[in-house]
Structure 1
Amino acid sequence: MKVAVFSAKKYDRDGLSQWADTSIQFSYHETRLNSDSVKLASGCHAVCVFVNDELNAAVLQQLSQMGIEMVALRCAGFNNVDLTTAKALGIRIARVPAYSPEAVAEHTIGMMLCLNRKLHKAYNRVRDDNFALDGLLGFNLFGKTVGLIGTGRIGQATARILHGFGCQLLCHDIAPSDVLTELGARYVPLPELYAQSDIISLHCPLTPDTKHLINHYSIGSMKDGVMLINTSRGALIDSKAVIDGLKNRKIGYLGLDVYEQEADLFFENLSEQMIDDEIFKRLLTFPNVLITGHQAFFTKEALQEICQVTSDNLLAFASNTATGNELVN
């Protein structure tokens, strides 16, 4: 089976070569999948894509015309896929629903600790032989109230770590977890979570209902100086509203591993180019903002899981069986 892999980095090539089934013939393309690059999939039976590849109606129709009947997502999110069109065209869509949720959870906690204890600033100071502590004052996580929006596998993994720190946990999800209530977490409406949380961390999927969940209104309902962390999907946050929240000091700390317009930025080395995204550049000017480039998933264990499950999804398609990871079967 021939599979065209888009948005392919060296670690994708290495991982698929090491952990995918050898019967699958991968052709790698660094470019993102879109209406211009889709022709690179010619002659293949399936395509393998990542979070910023475009799978809108136009691209799916082109894939269908080329005889491609399978799209393997090497990620959990699927907001970049037109599932309705895929179903109408008979294109099978499968994803990797859970790859090392601990990887994202640990990165989330790392961002909280780095922002709070200003580790990034301290690192740079010491390298300049500056050992002053002024401006590095943090707070104890112990006893703080953390609001988790979304308590799937990643949210639960994050909750377990925070419980170990001695945090009070408030949660919001359309499907409450008995595991977390047994841990001592309380499920509350969003207004209560906003009003009582010292730290708010996002772990929910991007849907029409959750787009810009964090907006001017919700930010106004939060505690002054709240810490806000997003390692889920960029469009959960209205970036302009967050900038206003930073300017008026409603938001005291902001950690982002995702960004609404990240498709033209993340996963690429743009160090010698001009970035013309004024909102992103404005976010970088704040001393209390920490941004990483969609890195939270990036551990050896997670990559292995992604490659193996992606391979299983492709083999299941070839044998006309199911893995349970199908969004469109």
Structure 2
Amino acid sequence: MMKFIAFNVREDEEKYFAQWEKETGNEVLRLPEMLDMTSVEKTKGFDGVLALQTGTYPSEMFAEFKKFGVKVFSIRNVGVDNVDLDAAKENGIVVTNVPAYSPNAIAEFSVTQLMQLLRNTTIFRNKVAKQDFRWAPYVGRELRSLTVGVIGTGRIGRAAINIYRGFGAKVIAYDLYPNPELKEQGIYVDSYDELFSQADVITLHMPATPNDHHLVNSEILNKMKDGSYIINTARGALVDTKALISALKSGKLAGAALDTYENESDIFNHDLSGKKIDDPIFKELLALDNVLVTPHIAFYTETAVENMVLISLNSAKSVCEDGTASTIVK
């Protein structure tokens, strides 16, 4: 019997962990707390560690894993920008992820958020609450009349492209590693500059790397069409929030939907009811009626949650049994 320990376990994940234990006969200790240097001691005696958090995992924990006999670190999400892969390799710890838990969940959400921006639903919701039922001057826009620029054409980006095309929108894209099928269709432009200058909507579906930090900055925003939109369901670090706010206030951007924020780890997935948020930039975002802020929930569907739990568990099990898994992060 293998023994795993899982951190950051939510109530909605519990039934899938229990289901897997029953089906495989292995044991999973579930904890609601984060994985950091104060909790890493609890991994002693376990074959593998599972976690899911937006905050950075401490590099030092991999040396502790090695000392405690942990063989695999399995994260229940795609992105590994918060994992020190070099430290893991130095200590002989295999890292796995969940490459695709539900691309459609994120793609659908990104389109849903854009549709709300195009039809000014936040503004009208606030007006109706005040019993102001006038329409003007908040006329909407139709998606089929817009050009959507998709950055990142992996599984999520391709799912988004299919949905946008279903609405009749023109879609262009940029990716460092173009998809052969999409390339044949002539969908790609050659640079970020081309994409940002041609598109009415920019939707981000790419991982975050040091090279892409603040990809969306004041310089690139100035190249966008007046009255355009930014949708970010990818990583907060891709967007310079101060520059975004300036563009929104000036009218350069008509709206933005942010499911992720560059300083989100102390805010998202926490109950801060009645508490002071000591982040003036975030509070400024919330005050804008042409911004939709959601707490990193684009992935959050029943299908995705089940896949995230089961794939991460099966990956850890495979590494412990066979020394390999299809989800190992290289």
Q: TM-score normalised by the shorter chain: which range applies? A: over 0.9
Which residue is 1:150 aligned to? 152
The match for 2:314 among 307, 312, 315 is 312
Q: Does 1:256 align with 2:227?
A: no
In the alignment, the residues of structure 1 paired with residue 192 and residue 300 of structure 2 have an alpha-carbon distance, to the nearest angstrom, of 30
Q: Please state if 1:27 is matched with 2:29.
A: yes
Rounded to whole Å, the distance in 2 between the matches of 1:19 and 1:291 is 34
Aligned-partner Cα distance in 1 for 2:30–2:262:
26
Aligned to 1:237: 239
The 8 Å contact of residues 32 and 53 in structure 1, kept in 2 or not, is answered as no
**Letter matched to residue 12 of structure 2:** Y
Q: Secondary structure, in 3 states, of the residue corresponding to 1:200?
A: strand
What is the match of residue 326 of structure 2?
324
Partner residue in 1 for 2:56: 54
Q: Distance in 1 between matches of 2:168 and 2:182?
A: 14
- Alignment deviations for residues 253-280 of structure 1 (CA, whole Å, 9 cap, x no partner): 0100011111111111111221101111
- Give 1:175 shift: 1.2
Q: CA deviation at 1:42?
A: 2.7
1:75-224 → structure 2 map (5 Å cutoff) = 75-126=77-128, 129-181=131-183, 185-224=187-226
1:69 to 47, 71, 78: 71
Is the 1:169–1:184 contact (alpha carbons within 8 Å) kept by the matching residues of 2?
no
Task: Give secondary structure in 2 for the equivalent of 1:64.
Answer: helix
> Is the deviation greater in 310-319 or in 47-56?
47-56
Q: CA deviation at 1:311?
A: 1.9
Structure 2 counterpart of 1:270? 272
Q: Distance in 2 between matches of 1:185 and 1:286?
A: 33
- 1:7–1:53 CA contact under 8 A, matched in 2: no
Which shifted more, 216-225 or 175-184? 175-184
Q: Is the partner of 1:229 in helix, strand or coil?
A: strand
Structure 2 residue matching 1:27: 3-state secondary structure: strand
1:126 deviates by 4.4
How much has 1:51 moved relative to structure 2?
Answer: 3.4
The separation in 2 between residues aligned to 1:230 and 1:157, in whole angstroms, is: 15
> What amino acid sits opposite 2:16 in the alignment?
G
Say whether the 8 Å CA contact 2:105–2:301 is kept in structure 1.
Answer: yes
Give 3-state SS (helix, strand or coil) of 1:187's partner: coil
**How far did residue 19 of structure 1 move?**
5.0
Does the Cα contact within 8 Å between 2:122 and 2:290 map onto a contact in 1?
no
User: For the residues of structure 1 that align with 2:104 and 2:290, how far apart are their CA atoms?
Assistant: 25
Q: Deviations over 1:120-161 (max 9, x none)?
A: 343454466543323542101113111111110100000000
User: Which range moved further: 64-73 or 142-151?
Assistant: 64-73
Q: Deviations over 1:179-204 (max 9, x none)?
A: 33455623331111111110000011
Contact kept, 8 Å, 1:176 with 1:187, in 2: the verdict is: no
Matched to 2:287, the amino acid is: T
- 1:10 aligns with 11
Query: How many angstroms does 1:241 deviate by?
Result: 1.4
Please give the alpha-carbon distance, in whole angstroms, between the structure 2 residues aligned to 1:19 and 1:253: 43
Match of residue 303 from structure 1: 305
Which shifted more, 63-72 or 295-304? Answer: 63-72
Q: Secondary structure at the match of 1:319?
A: helix
Deviating above 6 A after TM superposition, structure 1's stretches of 4 or more consecutive aligned residues are none
Give unmatched runs, 5+ long, in structure 2: none
Against the structure 1 CA distance between its residues 319 and 119, is the aligned structure 2 distance closer, same or farther, given a 3 Å change threshold?
A: same
Give the 3 Å change call, closer, same or farther, for CA 182–132 of structure 1 in structure 2: farther
Structure 1: gaps spanning 5 or more residues = none
- With the length of structure 2 as denominator, give the TM-score of the two structures: 0.93
Q: How far has the Cα of 1:64 moved from its partner? A: 2.1
Change (3 A) 1:130 1:19: farther
Q: Match of 1:194, as an amino acid?
A: F
CA distance in 2, matches of 1:156, 1:140: 21
User: Counterpart of 1:197 in structure 2: which amino acid?
Assistant: A
